[in-house]
Amino acid sequence: MSSYKGRMGQDVENQGNNLPKQRWDAPKDKVPTDRTLVVGAGEPGKKRRQRYVEKDGKCNVHHGNVRETYRYLSDIFTTLVDLKWRFNLLVFTMVYTTTWIFFGFIWWLIAYIRGDLEHAEDRDWTPCVNNLNGFVSAFLFSIETETTIGYGYRVITDKCPEGIVLLLVQAILGSIVNAFMVGCMFVKISQPKKRAETLMFSHKAVISLRDGRLCLMFRVGDLRNSHIVEASIRAKLIKSKQTKEGEFIPLNQTDINVGFDTGDDRLFLVSPLIISHEFNEHSPFWEISQAQLAKEEFEIVVILEGMVEATGMTCQARSSYLDSEVMWGQRFMPVLTLEEGFYEVDYDTFHNTYDTPTPSCSAKELAELAKKGEAIPLPPADPPKLATGPGSDTELPEGPGTRAGEEEEGGGGEEEEVFRRDSEEGRGEAQNVTNGDVNKMENGE
Cα dihedral 351, 355, 356, 362 in deg (nearest 10): 90
pLDDT tens for each residue of 78-92:
888 888 999 999 999
**Judgement on whether residues 337 and 208 belong to the same structural domain of the protein:** yes
Judge whether 439 lies within some domain.
no
Number of domains forming the structure of the chain: 2
Residue 411: pLDDT band by 50, 70, 90 thresholds? very low
Instruction: Write the CA distances from 374 to 62, 203, 288, 367, 369, integer angstroms.
Output: 51, 35, 20, 10, 5
Domain closes at, from 161, 190, 219:
190
Judge whether 391 lies within some domain.
no
**Judgement on whether residues 224 and 123 belong to the same structural domain of the protein:** no
Specify the range with the lowest mean pLDDT, choosing from 26-30, 115-119, 251-255, 262-266: 26-30
**Judgement on whether residues 203 and 186 belong to the same structural domain of the protein:** no
Domain closes at, from 131, 160, 190:
190
Report the pLDDT averaged over residues 110-124.
87
**Judgement on whether residues 115 and 83 belong to the same structural domain of the protein:** yes
**Judgement on whether residues 163 and 201 belong to the same structural domain of the protein:** no
Residue type at position 128: C
Alpha helices in 46-198 (DSSP H): 70-74, 76-82, 85-114, 135-146, 161-189
pLDDT tens for each residue of 53-112:
999 899 988 888 888 777 877 888 888 888 899 999 999 999 999 999 999 999 999 999
Judge whether 40 lies within some domain.
no
**Judgement on whether residues 250 and 179 belong to the same structural domain of the protein:** no
Q: For the domain that residue 320 is a member of, what is the CATH number?
A: 2.60.40.1400
Judge whether 388 lies within some domain.
no
**Judgement on whether residues 115 and 226 belong to the same structural domain of the protein:** no
Judge whether 402 lies within some domain.
no
**Judgement on whether residues 130 and 250 belong to the same structural domain of the protein:** no
**Judgement on whether residues 102 and 172 belong to the same structural domain of the protein:** yes
Residue 47: pLDDT band by 50, 70, 90 thresholds? low
Domain closes at, from 153, 169, 190:
190
Q: For the domain that residue 137 is a member of, what is the CATH number?
A: 1.10.287.70
Judge whether 259 lies within some domain.
yes
The DSSP annotation for 237-280 comes to: EEEEEE-TTS-EEEEEEEEE-SSTTTTTTEE-TTS-EEEEEE--
pLDDT tens for each residue of 140-185:
999 999 988 878 888 898 889 999 999 999 999 999 999 999 999 9
Host domain of residue 180: 76-190
**Judgement on whether residues 199 and 321 belong to the same structural domain of the protein:** yes
Judge whether 275 lies within some domain.
yes
**Judgement on whether residues 361 and 266 belong to the same structural domain of the protein:** yes
Judge whether 129 lies within some domain.
yes
**Judgement on whether residues 132 and 86 belong to the same structural domain of the protein:** yes
pTM of the model: 0.66
